[in-house]
Amino acid sequence: MAMTGDIYKLMTTEDMLQGHAELCIHAYGFVKSMALKCAIELGIPGAIHSNGGGATLGELASRIALPPSRLPRLRRLMRVLTVSSVFSIHYRQPDSADGGAAVYGLTRASRLLVGDETSPGLSHLVSLMLDPNLAAPFSGMSSWFMDERPRSIFEMHHGEDIWGVAARDVALSRSVGDGMDCDSRFVMEVLLREGLGREVFSGVGSLVDVGGGTGAVARGIAAAFPNVECSVLELPHVIAEAPADGDVRFVAGDMFEYIPPADAVLLKSVMHDWRDDECVKILQKCKEAIPSKDAGGKVIIINMVVGLGTSQDNNRKEAQGLYDLFLMVIEGGEREEDEWEKIFLEAGFSGYKIIPVLGIRSIIEVYP
Ligand SMILES: C[S@@+](CC[C@H](N)C(=O)[O-])C[C@H]1O[C@@H](n2cnc3c(N)ncnc32)[C@H](O)[C@@H]1O
């Protein structure tokens, strides 16, 4: 049997030391996540923005009302967040009034975390991704792999699936609702800004957004395409939180039981929450709700097609892989094209079209 020392003997000293640094980066990845969560909760992106787009440590501390004794720790937090490109850093001239102080700025990632009166940016989405209810079960992932009982990692940890817990736990329900609401506004902004929605929504007379949360997408479609009659089908506890709205009809129900009739059914960020057999059932209910292809019937899915997308290649591969593994906690997952095709055919659909225009995500039109 090889001794540990023998493993080391197979490596150069340079490889051992580089490997050690790489292991630190992988193992402390969660520290990076927690630093991001901390920055959002302290309001650092907004503080930099309202300081004119750049702030020294002192300026940041005063904007977020940090106790003075914590100032040296704030520098350490910002060091991790600049190394990981959440924030930028540059230095003022040494002869300036504050003698070459570091100035922290926003990057394209942290700019998305700046909220205003009309929108929280994507901060609530990132908070949902880091919600302890979802993050904590990951520490039991290896036990789950070795245990064949038909339950998700989330169920193994909480004793119930996410929708059951969310129905009782107002904080988790709000975390899902607020996170998905800001994601929906983000997607609508991109869709409408680039005129991409025209191809998908023009010609649709009525649309039901299934699992449509508190209605952000439906409201966006109703506002941009006044000819489309929009409704949302959701679980009763979600409908109870939805803001009253004249343009969108809310229907409380269960997508596994019944979907109200419409020309088109929209499923945004829904299918990746479910196993293949469950997706087939949802799609069969969608098929009952829409007219034939010739009469304009279609299902519109907004989700990932793993391997496709418009984001830069390396970012796309890593973001899609991480998203997929994240969803494994609730027995969901992202799908490659052939996996999508299989469930479409099994649910009785005749064809589909992928429109990969949403960064790491795509729009998929599915035809009866
Ligand atoms: C990940 S969220 C997506 C919300 C919304 N489509 C969006 O992208 O903002 C999934 C939604 O599916 C809803 N949902 C879960 N089970 C459902 C069911 N059986 N019938 C209807 N909606 C359901 C949840 O309440 C939740 O709002």
- Secondary structure E strands in the chain: 54-55, 87-91, 102-106, 206-210, 229-234, 248-252, 264-268, 298-303, 351-358, 361-367
Closest CA to 209 of 301, 296, 344, 277: 301
Least Cα distance to 284 among 358, 348, 339 occurs for 348
* Pick from 267, 268, 274, 272: nearest CA to 349: 267
Instruction: For ligand 1, pick from 180, 267, 272 the residue to mutate: most ligand atoms within 8 Å of CB.
Output: 180
Strand 206-210, strand 229-234: pairing: parallel
Report how far residue 261's alpha carbon sits from residue 271's, in angstroms, rounded to the nearest whole number: 19
Ligand 1 atom closest to 256 (CA): 19
pLDDT of 5 strictly over 80: no
Rounded mean pLDDT, 25-32: 96
Nearest CA to ligand 1 atom 24: 211
**Cα separation, 4 vs 137, whole angstroms:** 32
**Of 270, 275, 304, best ligand 1 pocket probe by most atoms within 8 Å of the beta carbon:** 270
90 catalytic? Reply is no
Strand order in the sheet with 229-234: 248-252, 229-234, 206-210, 264-268, 298-303, 361-367, 351-358
Q: Say how far residue 342 (Cα) sits from the centre of its chain.
A: 25
pLDDT above 80: residue 245: no
- What pLDDT score does 313 carry? 80
Q: Rounded mean pLDDT of 333-346?
A: 97
Residue 214 CB–ligand 1 contact under 6 Å:
no
Q: Sketch the domain layout of the chain as residue ranges.
A: 13-111, 123-367
Distance 212 CA to ligand 1 centre (A): 6
For the segment 79-120, what is each residue's pLDDT rounded down to a tens digit?
Answer: 999 999 999 999 987 777 777 789 999 999 999 999 887 888
Q: Which CATH number fits domain 13-111: 3.10.20.340, 3.10.450.50, 1.10.10.10, 1.10.1030.10?
A: 1.10.10.10
CATH 3.40.50.150 fits 123-367, yes or no: yes
Structure tokens belonging to residue 41? 């909760």
Q: Mind listing the pLDDT tens digit for each residue in 252-305?
A: 999 999 999 999 999 999 999 999 999 999 999 999 999 999 999 999 999 999
Task: Check if 236 has its Cβ closer than 6 Å to any atom of ligand 1.
Answer: no
pLDDT greater than 60 at residue 2:
no
Give the position of tokens 């020392």: 5
- Give the distance (Å) from ligand 1 centre to CA of residue 167: 12
Residue minimizing CA distance to atom 18 of ligand 1: 254
Measured CA to CA, the distance from residue 98 to residue 96 in angstroms comes to 5
